[in-house]
């Protein structure tokens, strides 16, 4: 028998409502997300996300780890953009130490970030098509993602949780093959991008499933704290790379992708177009990686001065913030992560009320939820 939560029992008191537990094990939630859906026939009356199934108390854990160590734990939060999480932590520590990062390290960091963003969006694209019942795009997306993973494996030594960013730069220099393989990847990606349009974007069934579904107005996006592609799909400018540039993003040429429709298709198009912007950034940098150190000189034991530090980056899912309170010791006194997935998930109920079960799956797909990121 499935465990009946208190809320489920309360809600069942209402006559005539059908209450369904979607998750914690369900093909559409891509992780251990538990949604309690109140249905009237096929129409959704209420969606209530229940969290905590994969809570590992990472923030508390980080308090007992040194500044070098805790970065590794953040790879396990949003595992699809672990580089970018690490980057945010490294930035925050560097802010505290007031370190100057060598230009080579900065370029490598940005390159890795953008590759991660593409890989993350690739996986999202495949998983979302699979949510809508098309299985084949998943494998096509993984073909491209695989070549990014190979690049990562060569340079960082790992395919998923890279832990490549360290305070002061990157852990070690890029692999000699790195530039060649990234260029190969760009050629591969450009030769395959038309398949994406033919298979999914241009498909009439797909467009019917996405257009007008899960509408989120710009005001609601702001009040729910949505960031990233979810906010940009509603026309809210929220790209941290443009608004609060870090590293060398202010010297790069790229556009903030904005769609104004606010429906699932707008969010979908934001991500598709963002991948092309990332390719554009990589193309600008890949031939001009400056020579020099890949890591600034740092002390063996890092100590942040007493105070509070905050840094934010744009991950594949939105704004990721790291807030460190330091008492001057070797470990942080308190750490708080602002994860994009949590705020984006909170908008789900508002977006989907009155829709059908199929709409829930479509809208949830475009939120691009990574559950360990929400639960931490």
Residue 41 or 52 having the CB closest to other proteins: 41
The verdict on 7 binding other proteins (CB under 8 A) reads no
Residue 5 or 203 having the CB closest to other proteins: 203
Neighbour count for residue 353 (Cβ, 10 Å): 14
Neighbour count for residue 290 (Cβ, 10 Å): 12
Neighbour count for residue 176 (Cβ, 10 Å): 9
For residue 28, which phi and psi values (nearest 5 degrees)? Answer: -95, -10
Report CA Rg, the chain.
Answer: 21
| Residue in 89, 281, 345, 361 binding other proteins, rule: CB under 8 A | 361
Residue 190 or 211 having the CB closest to other proteins: 211
The verdict on 199 binding other proteins (CB under 8 A) reads yes
Q: Which stretch binds other proteins (CB under 8 A): 47-55, 133-141, 300-308, 366-374?
A: 133-141
The residues near 9 (Cβ < 8 Å, ≥ 6 apart) are none
Q: Which stretch binds other proteins (CB under 8 A): 98-106, 197-205, 233-241, 344-352?
A: 197-205
Residue 22 or 316 having the CB closest to other proteins: 22
Torsion, CA 100, CA 105, CA 111, CA 116, rounded to 10: -90
Residue 70 or 265 having the CB closest to other proteins: 265
The DSSP element (H or E) to which 46 belongs, if any, is strand 43-50
Residue 113 or 122 having the CB closest to other proteins: 122
The verdict on 297 binding other proteins (CB under 8 A) reads no
Q: Which of residues 218-257 bind other proteins (CB under 8 A)?
A: none
Beta carbon of residue 205, minimum distance to other proteins (angstroms, whole number): 5
The verdict on 28 binding other proteins (CB under 8 A) reads yes
Neighbour count for residue 219 (Cβ, 10 Å): 10
What is the 8-class DSSP label of residue 305? P
Strand ordering across the sheet containing 18-22: 18-22, 34-40, 43-50
Residue 200 or 281 having the CB closest to other proteins: 200
The verdict on 194 binding other proteins (CB under 8 A) reads no
CB-based burial of residue 170 (10 Å sphere; 0-12 exposed, 13-18 middle, 19+ buried)?
A: buried
| Residue in 52, 139, 306, 329 binding other proteins, rule: CB under 8 A | 139
Beta carbon of residue 338, minimum distance to other proteins (angstroms, whole number): 29
User: Do you know the residue count of the chain?
Assistant: 376
The verdict on 368 binding other proteins (CB under 8 A) reads no
Beta carbon of residue 264, minimum distance to other proteins (angstroms, whole number): 12
Find the DSSP H helices in the chain.
6-12, 58-63, 70-74, 82-97, 103-131, 136-156, 178-196, 204-210, 218-223, 228-233, 240-243, 264-286, 340-346, 348-352, 357-367, 371-375
Binding residues vs other proteins (CB under 8 A): 18-20, 26-28, 42, 129-136, 138-140, 143, 199-200, 203, 205-206, 208-209, 356-361
């Amino acid at each position: 028998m499935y465990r009946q939560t208190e809320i489920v029992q309360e809600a069942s008191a209402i006559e005539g409502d059908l209450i369904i537990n979607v998750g914690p094990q369900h093909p559409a939630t891509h992780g251990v997300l538990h949604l309690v859906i109140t249905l009237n026939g096929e129409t959704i009356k209420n969606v209530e996300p229940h969290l905590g199934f994969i809570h590992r108390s990472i923030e508390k854990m980080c308090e007992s780890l040194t500044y070098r160590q805790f970065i590794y734990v953040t790879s396990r939060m949003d595992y699809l953009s672990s580089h970018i999480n690490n980057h945010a932590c490294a930035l925050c520590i560097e802010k505290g130490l007031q370190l100057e990062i060598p230009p080579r390290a900065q370029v490598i960091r940005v390159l890795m970030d953008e590759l991660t963003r593409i890989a993350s969006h690739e996986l999202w694209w495949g998983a979302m098509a699979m949510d809508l019942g098309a299985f084949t795009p998943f494998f096509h997306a993984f073909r491209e993602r695989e070549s990014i993973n190979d690049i990562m494996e060569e340079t960082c030594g790992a395919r998923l949780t890279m832990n490549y960013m360290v305070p002061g730069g990157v852990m070690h220099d890029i692999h000699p093959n790195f530039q060649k393989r990234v260029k190969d990847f760009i050629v591969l990606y450009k030769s395959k991008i038309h398949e994406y349009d033919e298979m999914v974007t241009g498909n009439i069934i797909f467009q019917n499933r996405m257009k007008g579904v899960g509408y989120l107005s710009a005001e609601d996006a702001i009040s729910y704290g949505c960031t990233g592609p979810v906010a940009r799909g509603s026309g809210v400018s929220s790209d941290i790379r443009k608004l609060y540039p870090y590293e060398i993003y202010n010297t790069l040429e790229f556009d903030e992708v904005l769609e104004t429709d606010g429906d699932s298709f707008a969010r979908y198009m934001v991500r598709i177009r963002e991948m092309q912007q990332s390719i554009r950034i990589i193309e600008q940098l890949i031939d001009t990686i400056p020579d020099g150190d890949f890591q600034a000189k740092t002390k063996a034991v890092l100590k942040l001065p007493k105070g509070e530090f905050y840094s934010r980056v744009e991950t594949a899912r939105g704004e990721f913030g790291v807030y460190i309170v330091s008492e001057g010791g070797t470990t942080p006194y308190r750490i708080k992560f602002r994860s994009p997935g949590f705020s984006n998930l909170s908008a789900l109920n508002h977006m989907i009320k009155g829709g059908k079960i199929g709409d829930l799956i479509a809208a949830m797909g475009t939120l691009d939820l990574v559950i360990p990121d929400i639960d931490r």
